[in-house]
Amino acid sequence: MAKILIVDDSSFARHRIQKLLEAGGHEVVGTAADGRSALTQYKALRPDIVTLDYFMDETPGEVALRSILEFDPEAKVIMVSGSNDDSLKHRVMREGALGFVEKFSPETNLLEIVDRVGLHRD
């Protein structure tokens, strides 16, 4: 079981991801609605994994990813996006994300990636 921080500017998406992760046996320790709050929550909660929306208005996910990894280079971040653009996926993986999930993909995909990432870098 992983302790997870969910970051998404959509309350619907946060709720949906939380229900999925909890049903998969994981603990959601916090949520954030923007990238700036993501870093604050990460520092306070020190989750095992962060699910981070890429497209957010105030602080984009890519900026939040860099901020989290600057604070903790061992942070485990899974980027979540409504886009399945391969160039976007490759870019965020080069930036340090350990996984990439299309927001509207089959939900089991997120659980598989969370389980894989939970084993990574330990």
All domains of the chain, ordered by start, with CATH?
3-119 (3.40.50.2300)
The DSSP H or E segment spanning 81 is strand 77-81
* Rounded CA separation 75/78 (Å): 10
Cα–Cα distances in angstroms (integers) from residue 117 to residues 9, 79, 103, in the given order: 23, 12, 17
- The more confidently predicted of residues 9 and 84 is 9
| HSE-up of residue 102 (Cα within 13 Å, Cβ side) | 7
**Cα(61)–Cα(85) distance, integer angstroms:** 15
Amino acid at 80: V
Tokens of 10: 């959509």
What's the pLDDT score for residue 108? 57
Query: What integer pLDDT is reported at residue 122 of this predicted model?
Result: 44
Nearest to 103 by CA among 13, 2, 10, 11: 13
- Indicate if the pLDDT at residue 120 is higher than 60: no
CB-based contact 68:55 (threshold 8 Å): no
Looking at residue 119, what is its pLDDT?
65
List, for residues 41-79, the tens digit of each pLDDT value. 999 999 999 999 999 888 889 999 999 999 999 999 999
CA angle 71, 75, 76 (to 5 degrees): 155
Could you tell me the two tokens for 26? 């994981």
What percent of the chain stands above pLDDT 90? Answer: 69
Q: For residue range 1-38, list pLDDT tens digits in order.
A: 899 999 999 999 999 999 999 999 999 999 999 999 99
Angle at 16 between CA 12 and CA 19, to 5 degrees: 140
Q: What percent of the chain has pLDDT over 70?
A: 94
| 110/42: higher pLDDT | 42
